């Protein structure tokens, strides 16, 4: 099994818990060192949120279980970083 160090997921979540509580709960998941949470879209009932999650050996199933327990759902996994270190993306002409 590869070592997962960063994952970016698209999440649909209810307004309650608020974004700070939601990110804090995901950050408390075993193996998670930090979480960045960004609201992408907002409507009356739900928020679409991008979570960037980093840690030394992330468990995607545990992260999804935490999100589900908070009333949210992972819609997609948009980025992963595996290996012994994180690699920053380089800009290309296509960017």
**What DSSP assignment string belongs to 43-63?**
-SSEEEEEEEEE-SS--HHHH
pLDDT in tens, 59-70: 999 999 999 999
pLDDT > 80? residue 1: no
pLDDT in tens, 5-48: 999 999 999 999 999 999 999 999 999 999 999 999 999 999 99
- Boundaries of domain holding 24: 4-54+64-82
For the chain, how many structural domains are there in total?
1
pLDDT > 90? residue 89: no
Any domain includes 28: yes
CATH number at residue 26: 3.30.70.1340
pLDDT in tens, 78-88: 999 999 888 88
Any domain includes 11: yes
Any domain includes 87: no
């Amino acid at each position: 099994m590869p070592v997962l160090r960063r994952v970016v997921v698209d999440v649909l979540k209810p307004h309650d818990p608020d974004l700070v509580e939601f990110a804090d709960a995901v950050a408390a998941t075993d193996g998670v060192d930090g979480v960045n949470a960004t609201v992408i879209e907002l409507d009356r009932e739900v928020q679409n949120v991008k979570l960037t999650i980093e840690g030394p050996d992330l468990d995607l199933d545990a992260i999804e279980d935490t999100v589900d327990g908070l009333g949210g759902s992972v819609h997609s996994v948009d980025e992963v970083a595996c290996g012994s270190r994180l690699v920053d993306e380089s800009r290309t002409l296509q960017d």
